[in-house]
Amino acid sequence: MTAGILFVVAARDLKLARRRRIEALLPVVFFVVAASLYPFGVGPEPQMLREIASGIVWVCALLAAMLSLNTLYVADYADGSLEQMVLSRESLVLIAAGKALAHWVLTGVPLILASPLIGLFFGMASSTIAVMTLTLLLGTPVLSLLGSVGAALTLGLRSGGVLILLLVLPLCIPVLIFGAGAVTAVDSGLSAQGHLSLLGALLLVSGLGAPLATAAALRISIAS
């Protein structure tokens, strides 16, 4: 049961999210609407839109992923479920990983699925869209993992949403740089292998370290 608690917690959060469908859809709606508004602000010139498309998609994806972080642990903290999780015999590291997995399924996966439509809207080539989708596949789990650390650190604090942004956004800048850089490289006829490798390394490091940091932050938040 120890390893299975990760998927049990993730399945529980996904089931609870079905009761708040509008709230669950908010990140992907924000992503699509925000990305669609850029051409109205910068102009409809196709070449310029293609050049800035990767940066726009990644900035919008980053902000969309941040929207639901404030509620990642708040409900469980309010009803006492989180305290029971901390006091249980199950690994808090795996519980934190399960919460991050559920957040990624609810936010990251819809962003990945919506990104090809945004790419077509900006007139991107099919090969460029494929690389952009791959970068989101590698990068959005990192956003959820790092975001879970910020959500745990700010749990129970006033203006927690603002504090999460201040804590998490600087940590996510490398993901933004390498994700957008891979798409730009392909669009320029260069190889994106270096950027993709760095994204994979960030995913590996955050996958190993973020649940540990989240578990420690949760213990501190519950004890305080």
Weakest-pLDDT range from 62-66, 71-75, 151-155, 198-202:
71-75
Give the C-alpha separation, 44 to 162, whole Å. Answer: 33
Please give the Cα distance from 215 to 92 (Å, whole number).
6
pLDDT digits (tens, 9 = 90+) for 5-58: 888 999 999 998 888 877 778 889 999 999 888 878 777 777 888 888 888 999
Contacts of 16 (CB under 8 A, 6+ apart): 75
Task: Confirm whether pTM is higher than 0.85.
Answer: yes
Give the pLDDT score at 149. Answer: 93
Q: What is the mean pLDDT of residues 60-67?
A: 90
Q: Of residues 88 and 60, which shows the higher confidence score? A: 60
How would you label 151-187 residue by residue, b for 16+ Cβ within 10 Å and e otherwise?
A: bbbbbeeeebbebbbebbbebbeebbebbbbbbbbbb
Among 172, 105, 100, 112, smallest CA distance to 136 is for 112
- Better-predicted residue by pLDDT, 100 or 72: 100
Cβ neighbours for 47, distance < 8 A, ≥ 6 positions apart: none
Q: Would you state the pLDDT for residue 160?
A: 66
